[in-house]
Structure formats: structure tokens, C-alpha cells
Amino acid sequence: MIKTYLVGGAVRDQLLNIPTKDKDYVVVGSHPEAMIKQGFKPVGKDFPVFLHPKTHEEYALARTEKKVGRGYHGFEFYASPDVTLEEDLQRRDITINAIAQDEEGQFIDPFGGMDDVKHKIIRHVSDAFEEDPLRVLRVARFQAKLPEFSIDPATQKLLQKIVGNDEIQSLSSERIIEEIKKGLVEKGAALMFEVLHACGALDVIMPDANYTENHASLEALCKLDAFQNIDLDDRLSLVLMLLYFDHGTFKNSLDKTIKKLKINSRQTNVINHIKNSFQDLIHIHDLNDESRFNLINQFDFFRRPDITYAVLDYVNLLCHALALKNSVVGQFKQHLHLFEKKLEQQPSMSDDPLQGKALGDKIKQLRFELFKQA
């Protein structure tokens, strides 16, 4: 007999009175051909997942899994009409994600997830938890999502065991970044890094990070309204910079981590500008006009003003998190906006008789005069 159950985050969030957007279902007693015959569209590559023909919500056939290799992809999945709901739930990561709800609204909770919701505990479902290194990041992310929860000591030991087995090394940078970004959306984002640090995973993902010294500043950063209003690439870059901040400068090992995590070129560009000019930027009120003008030229302001503004915004947030005085950084940004308006009001120099370097020098001098006026 075919039965459908609501599972995962939608059930968990319902019990926590948290709004949820996505709903996932598990189908017990069916097979791919029957799903397709009913109009479901197959989308799963590694296991049978289907989209509902009308709601486009995900319906997955009940399945079990077996560890056959290293890493996140080292599993064989078995989906069949004889796989039970309990067998499907048992392969899930933590108990609060292993609760199902039938079509009549009744909860099915074979692993005590509802009790863990009540007592605010993050606990693994079974010892098979340690077979998937991605679950280290997922637990850290759920700690960020549910800061009032605590991780069960036995689960904490399994996190350490996974790290000790070097399984984390097998995760792709894309999967690591995906999980970290999901955690950066949450109200307890800084707690994600606390969990990763406690089990040793942070040393693998971000080698040589200055977490112990900068964890208070990281918490302050994540609580800033301005931090929560920027996109996730910017948040990730700021966290990286803060974790590699070391007594007024940034560790050289930050470069290796940027490369390891495959941070995009725009963010890398912004980070590098800050690394090279941080002291000048936080003491910009001590620089003369020429030095300030040369600084924005280094940032390629006249071709990519967005990069310069991103640099200033990053520094502003970093200074707030590090409790450094930085009010003039915001003033300098206003100065640049005025400067841009003056530039827009200037006539074109396309008909100027000067050519080559002479024209370039003239344009630079005119820009500098406008810069001082602004």
C-alpha cells in the first residue's frame, strides 16, 4: 500500500513554531514507474526524487543507504517498495529531522525527535551518522539556527571522530561553502564556527584561522544589522577576514584559504585591497589628499567604483566588530559619492588634441582637482 509522509525540516519547524517554505515528502511502497505514471517528474541523480506535477514539491521514494567509499558521495542508495518509513528516517542526520507526519496529521517519531525538540537537544539518529562528513557542517549549521539548543555529548564525540578520520578533507569546497552560507543566514551564525572549532573541523576547513583570539569579534560582527543586510558572499568574505585578522594585519595563510574555498574573483579582489591597505584605510584621516587619491586609484575606482565602495563597507564593518574607531571611513565614502557627481558633470575630453600619456596625465590631474574640491 502506497503512503505519503511529510518529513524533515517542515515537520521540525512545525514543532518549533518556525515558519517554513519548503515541504519534502517521502513515499513508502511505490517505485519510479508508478510515480512517473502519476505525472511526477524525476529529478534525482543519485536516488529517486520527483517533483509533484502541480505543487512542484519534492517527493522521494523511501530509501536506505550503505557506506561504500570516502566522503559525502561514498554511498550506495537502495530504494524499493519494501523499504519502511522507519528505515528511511533512520538514515537521517539528527533526531529532530527524523520525524514524519502522515496525511491525517499524526506524527511518527521512532527516534525520539519530539522529545529532543522539547528538551532542546541536537542528537544524532544512529552511529551511521559518522559515515557522512557533511554532517559535521550540518550540525554546526543547526546550532546556528537553534542557538538555544545544545549538542548531545555523544554527538559531539562523533563530530570529533569524523574529523579525526580525515573525512572532512573529502568534502568539496562547494559543499563546504554551501553549508556555511546557510549558517550565515541564521540568528546564531557565530555559533556555527564555535561548533566547528570545538570538534577540530575549523582547523581543516580554514587552517591557521585565529578563532580563539577573534571569536568575540566574530560574534559582534554577526550581530550587526549591516552584516545581516548584505549578501552571503560578502558575509563569508568578512568572516574569513576577521578569522585571519592578527594584531592590525591579516595572516598570509588567508590567501591559501581563499584559494582552497574557491572564493570568487570579485570577493578576492576586495579582500586583497583591504589586506594591502587596511592601516591606510582605518587612518585615512591622517592621509593627505594625494595619498587618498592614489589609494582609490589602486582600487581601480574609475573603472570599478563598486569595488572601492565594497572595500570601504567591509572596513567599516570590520572596525565595528573589532571595536576600532572608524567614523571617517563612512565620511570618506560620502566624499567619493560627491566626487562621482562632479565627475559626471564634466564635459567629455574625447575631442582633446592631446593623445596618449599626455592626455592620461591631464585627465588624472583634472580628476585630482575635482577630488580635492569634493
Note the pLDDT tens digit of each residue in 226-236: 999 999 999 99
The fourth-level CATH superfamily of domain 1-119 is Beta Polymerase, domain 2 (3.30.460.10)
Write phi, then psi, for 59 (nearest 5 degrees).
Answer: -125, 120
Give 224: exposed, middle or buried? Use CB within 10 Å, 0-12, 13-18, 19+: middle
With a cut of 90, say whether residue 290 has pLDDT above it.
Answer: yes
Tens-digit pLDDT profile for residues 291-302:
999 999 999 999
* 236 Ramachandran zone, left/alpha/beta (phi>0; psi -120 to 50): alpha
pLDDT at position 135 over 80: yes
Residues 6+ apart with CB under 8 A from 157: none
Q: Which residue has the cell 540568528?
A: 187
pLDDT at residue 7 tops 80? yes
Segment among 205-209, 246-250, 282-286, 350-354 with least mean pLDDT:
350-354
- The two beta strands, 63-67 and 75-79, are antiparallel
* CATH architecture of the domain covering 120-205: Orthogonal Bundle (1.10)
The answer, yes or no, to whether residue 44 has pLDDT greater than 80, is no
Q: Tens digits of per-residue pLDDT, 142-173?
A: 999 999 999 999 999 999 999 999 889 889 99
Q: Which residues contact 324 (CB under 8 A, 6 or more apart)?
A: 282, 318
Contact 110, 138 (CB under 8 A): no
At residue 225, does pLDDT exceed 80?
yes
- Which amino acid is located at 356 in the chain? G
pLDDT tens, 316-331? 999 999 998 766 677 8
CA distance 29 to 274: 57
**Which residue, 62, 57, 69, is CA-closest to 26?**
62
Q: What is the mean pLDDT of the chain?
A: 89
Report residue 63's pLDDT band, with 50, 70 and 90 as the boundaries: confident
Break the chain into its structural domains and give their ranges.
Answer: 1-119, 120-205, 209-374
Q: What is the grid cell recorded at 359? A: 592626455
State the average pLDDT over residues 33-54.
85
Question: pLDDT digit string (tens) for 273-282?
Answer: 999 999 999 9
What local confidence, expressed as pLDDT, does residue 71 receive? 47
Evaluated on CA atoms 19, 4, 56, 174, the torsion sign reads: positive
pLDDT tens readout for residues 104-126? 999 999 999 999 999 999 999 99
pTM confidence score: 0.88
pLDDT band at 74 (very low <50, low <70, confident <90, very high): very low
Look-up of cell digits 521540525: 12
pLDDT confidence tier of residue 214, bands split at 50, 70 and 90: very high
More confident of the two residues 241 and 352:
241
Distance CA 313, CA 293 (A): 18
